[in-house]
Structure 1
Amino acid sequence: MSSPRDVIDVEIPSSKPKIKEGIFFDMPNKEYHEIDGLSSTQFQDLDLSVAIYDNRHLFKYDCEAFKIGTLNHTALLEPHLLDEYIETTTKTLESAATEKIKKDNPNKEVVPLGSIALAKERAYKVNLVYGPYIEQSLKEVSFIVFDEALGLYRKCRADLWLPKLGLVLDYKTSKEHRPELFRRNSISQYNYDIQSAWYIDTINMAIDKFNLPYPKVRNFGWIVSPNYEPYKPFGGIAMPDIIEKGRAKYTALVDKYISVKFENGEDELFKAWFTDEYLRNMNN
């Protein structure tokens, strides 16, 4: 049985010499994040201000939660890379022992004691439920395309891409333990609605621009592993209203960027704040 990636495995050189455009099946995560393109996670910076977005390299942080999230992704999507991790001897990274281990293992990613085994357990439980989707998917596929209308490089990195189903799935770890709570509390707050629209639009733009022999992406969803025992995974698909809301949000932010950068528009440095009661009345 042929793999979806047998259809095409190419890197398409861009007319812009600094960045390659196209679809990349084997691009390391570090290399992807170093590419200066607009991704869905950067809209939170653009929402704060264009100045924050332009200087985002000054606001990077490397917290324990981010390391654990990356470890969980590795355990599910790229378990062969778990050898790149090493555990410290404490439950937290804030210790003298951790600093010594970092110094002695400069090429390893140091994570808290017990976190590798836990990431494997969570990945195992996700596979019990969603194994068929994970098995037939292409994992960690990067898409980079220059958007002529915006004058910006767009990029996204699909955790799980199922071309034959026209489906992209993203793996999330979350404080929420039920599907309805995730829908209500996380999708809009963390701009996952933007993510759904941005991935669909960016991937389909790359498919169109380079005439790639893949079906268009029609659906985007999430596989969620709660951060609490017993780590029961659940999943959901973004319905059209969520995708359209995300598209409207990212379009407004891109328009703001273009206005500020190229049309002498003013950055929104001061937000308009209202009481919750006022906003509820407005929404009603």
Structure 2
Amino acid sequence: MKYWRIKAPNEDVPLPFVTKVVAGIGTEELAQYILDAMQALVPVSHCTVFALQANGRVSALSTASAHGAVATITAVDYYSNRFDLLDSNMTWLSRKRSPARSQLWMSHQFAEDVSDLKYRDLCYTKPGIRERASILLLDCQGLRAAISLYRNLSFALFSERDFETITRCAPVLHEAVLAQVRKSSRRAVSDELHHRILTNLAHREKQVISYLLEGKTSRETAALLELSETTVLTYRYRAFAKLGIKSQRDLLTTLDRLPANLGAPKKRQ
């Protein structure tokens, strides 16, 4: 098992690679987009994107295989057997503190480097994995993640030129994973807020919030609901208190769509 620090690349990353990776941000198939983008530069058979959470557990942001669902099946075995505690990438990342400036590292591991026989059998031998090359992210904002590229037995070993190409792509992949984590976090907050709207708000409060999400002003909402503007403002801020937000801006920046089952109310006849 080897680790080395990635230095700033001297060459630009091909634009098609950047375009393909960026297209995957915000989707559940980010690893597939990375895999497809890498194929034109460095042939690989699988790709996984794992992040180390604050509680020490590993979360799979995305997995992909060139053929079938091998990576997904292997990830299930990885989680159910707590192989994250044995994974050299994750144990290495867990020992690192967040740096003042973000760092990128490379690691390289052969299947025979995995000492635990069960881990090696389920995650390397059965899926036919020969070796793993990983980009390790130590972000200054606290993110620690591993983007791993695998080669199965049908591929030749990674060459020095392959490692150079992977390290050249590392900054783009770093930014993509960082953006993916940010989008996932915002989505989780948004989903929670949707739930609160549907379960915590009274009927009038839901109506007022619905019109607010459509961009209606307090005056327009008051006219549509045949209420005074003061009453609309009262419903609005009562709803804000129940939702745990402080302003219209908080609401609009968190929610990017109307919650399910909360269509805009019909205008009173």
Larger Rg: 2
TM-score (normalizing by structure 2): 0.25
